[in-house]
Amino acid sequence: MIPFNKPSIVGRELAYMQAAVETGKISGNGVFTGQCHHFFEQHFGFYKSLLTHSGTGALEMAALLLNIQPGDEVIMPTYTFVSTANAFLLRGAHIVFVDSAPDHPNMDVHAIEPLITERTKCIVVMHYGGYAVDMQVVLDLSVRYRLFIIEDAAHGIGARYNGLPLGSIGHLAAFSFHETKNVQCGEGGMLVVNDERFSHRAEVVWEKGTNRAAFARKETDTYHWIDIGSSFLPSELTAAYLLGQTEHFESICLRRRAIWEQYSANLQFGPANSWFTLLPETPGSVHNHHIVAIICRSASERESLIRHLDSLGIMAVSHYRCLHDSPYYKGRHDGRKLSNAKHFEDCLLRLPIYHDLTEAQVEEITKAIYSFYSRKS
CB 218, min distance to ligand PLP, A: 32
CB 58, min distance to ligand PLP, A: 8
Q: Where are the alpha helices (DSSP H) in 128-235?
A: 135-145, 199-206, 212-216
Rounded distance, CA 191 to CA 54, Å?
Answer: 9
CB 178, min distance to ligand PLP, A: 4
Q: Where are the alpha helices (DSSP H) in 217-318?
A: 236-246, 249-266, 299-311
| 73 bridge partner residues | 94, 120
Q: Give whichever of 174 and 204 is closer to ligand PLP, judged by the CB atom.
A: 174
Q: Which parts of this chain interact with ligand PLP (CB under 6 A)? A: 54-56, 80-81, 83-84, 126, 152, 154-155, 176, 178, 189
Q: Give whichever of 175 and 260 is closer to ligand PLP, judged by the CB atom.
A: 175
CB 146, min distance to ligand PLP, A: 25
Considering Cα of 203, then 207, then 212, then 217, what sign does the dihedral take? negative
Rounded distance, CA 97 to CA 137, Å?
Answer: 17
CB 74, min distance to ligand PLP, A: 14
CB 53, min distance to ligand PLP, A: 8
On whether the CB atoms of residues 243 and 39 are closer than 8 A, the answer is yes
Rounded distance, CA 29 to CA 13, Å?
Answer: 18
Cβ-based neighbours of 151, under 8 Å, separated by 6 or more: 124, 125, 126, 127, 166, 167, 169, 170, 172, 173, 174
Q: Give whichever of 84 and 288 is closer to ligand PLP, judged by the CB atom.
A: 84
Q: Give whichever of 181 and 255 is closer to ligand PLP, judged by the CB atom.
A: 181
Q: Give whichever of 64 and 368 is closer to ligand PLP, judged by the CB atom.
A: 64
Q: Give whichever of 33 and 176 is closer to ligand PLP, judged by the CB atom.
A: 176
Q: Give whichever of 25 and 91 is closer to ligand PLP, judged by the CB atom.
A: 91
Distances (CA, A) of 251 to 105, 254, 255, 256, 318: 28, 5, 6, 9, 28
CB 92, min distance to ligand PLP, A: 20
Angle between helical axes of 13-23 and 31-44 (0-180°, round to 10): 140
Taking CB atoms, the residue at the shortest distance from ligand PLP is 55
Cβ-based neighbours of 8, under 8 Å, separated by 6 or more: 354, 355, 356
Q: Give whichever of 158 and 373 is closer to ligand PLP, judged by the CB atom.
A: 158
CB 7, min distance to ligand PLP, A: 13
Q: Give whichever of 176 and 194 is closer to ligand PLP, judged by the CB atom.
A: 176
- Max CA distance (Å), the chain: 74
On whether the CB atoms of residues 244 and 188 are closer than 8 A, the answer is no
CB 308, min distance to ligand PLP, A: 26
| C-alpha 118: how far from chain center | 29
